[in-house]
Amino acid sequence: MKKFIKTLIITALVAVSCLSIVGCKGDDNSSSATGVIYKKYNGEDFYTVYDYVDDGATTLNILAEKDGYPVRRIASGAFDGASITDIQVPSSVTEIGKGAFKNMKNLKTITVPFIGKTAESDAFILESSSNNHDKAINAERTISHFFGEESFEQGVKITNNYNSVNTTTCYVPSTFTTVYLTPVKDYAVPMYAFSGMVNLSKVVLNSNVTAIGEGAFMNCVCLKDMAILSNVKTVYARAFKACAMLDTTKLFANATSLEKIGESAFEGTRINSVVLPANVKELGKACFKNSEINSITLSSQLKEIGVEAFAGCKYLVTVDASSCANTVELNAFTFADCVKLKNQGIDLAKFDYASTTFMDSGVTLG
């Protein structure tokens, strides 16, 4: 009998201990069995989106606040397999777990305040570190982080090779086409944020975006609907390289603060007629190289055009340099192999180094 009572006491103590452990994990404050499950963990003054029980909804706005506390985190795998097509993440969220939106076969549109794990990001290699390449480039700073590395039916495999040691692979819904980026303070689109997203056709930035990071949209071959807004000052190297479908009628229309376009930023695109915003001071090396640009109006503030900036632009017919011909610094081979500039009689004699710049292009100088 005593042995039996002792066993009951031990069992009870174990049960109490288990309940205590579960209690430390968090309090399930959900009010229903379906939809978003929010948890407020012990010791934290905010809620986490812990899980989603599919209720058949196609659109979802995640709460910014619950019971007087902000919603700041979305847990890894929280929306695993959800049938939602349109999900909106509020600006209160400051952390998104790896694979939070994995296996979402129907997802078309997402609204997020940042790309990657957190809003802390780099716009170019080694921006935040002088000797640690991984700090500048990894999946936690890209949209790959949202979707994770697990393959699924109807998932599109996206692989990015940033250099010899840095590679990320993720699986994105084949239906996924649109991103609304809504940061709450000054924010640079991280380097390689969307690189290789072959289905992406529309990205809408809000006015807090100040820069487009290195390689941010590289190889987004279907990206068409995109505008650089008034607070963006820099488009970094290879930002839109090989974006074949960009609609140039709106791309630069409101980019009133843009000052610099980096190396190979629009190389290999189908970008056509471009009027550079007035404040652009620098065009980087090969920035429009091998693109389908047919005319370019240079900006009045332009000081430097990089080597091969327009090299290989076989459709380029018109270069309007009337506003900057006395100030711009050209480099050798800027217009090399621009075959349609031959016999156009373009008067660029006032440009510095004009004779060397056009020595391979056959341009008739005034």
Phi, psi dihedral angles at 121 (to 5 degrees): -155, 165
Q: Pick 138 or 14 by higher pLDDT.
A: 138
What confidence score (pLDDT) does residue 15 get? 47
Distance CA 82, CA 147 (A): 12
Domains and CATH numbers, the chain: 269-366 (3.80.10.10)
Tell me what percent of the residues of the chain surpass a pLDDT of 90.
57
- Could you tell me the CA-to-CA distances from 271 to 25, 199, 201, 264 in Å, in that order? 53, 19, 15, 13
Taking residues 103-129, what's their average pLDDT? 89
How far does CA 274 lie from the centroid of its chain?
23
User: Of 250, 243, 241, which is closest to residue 273 (Cα–Cα)?
Assistant: 250
Taking residues 287-307, what's their average pLDDT? 91
Average pLDDT across the chain, whole number: 83
Listed in sequence order, the DSSP H helices in the chain are 2-25, 133-136, 144-147, 248-251, 354-357
**Band (131; pLDDT cuts 50, 70, 90):** low
Taking residues 266-286, what's their average pLDDT? 93
What confidence score (pLDDT) does residue 163 get? 58
DSSP secondary structure code for residue 129 in this structure:
-
pTM of the predicted model as reported, rounded to 2 decimal places: 0.84
Distance CA 96, CA 85 (A): 18
Residue-wise pLDDT for 219-273, tens only, equals 999 999 999 999 999 999 999 999 989 887 789 999 999 999 999 999 999 888 8
Residue-wise pLDDT for 325-361, tens only, equals 667 766 668 888 888 875 444 444 444 433 333 434 4
3-state secondary structure 145-205: HHHCCCCCCCEEEEEEECCCCCEEEEEEECCCCEEEECCCCCEEECCCCCCCCCCCCEEEE
What confidence score (pLDDT) does residue 132 get? 55
Residue-wise pLDDT for 74-99, tens only, equals 999 999 999 999 999 999 999 999 99
Place of tokens 């812990």: 50
Distance CA 228, CA 211 (A): 9
* Mode of pairing for the β-strands spanning 155-161 and 167-173: antiparallel
- Say whether 233 sits in a helix, a strand or coil: coil
Taking residues 128-151, what's their average pLDDT? 75
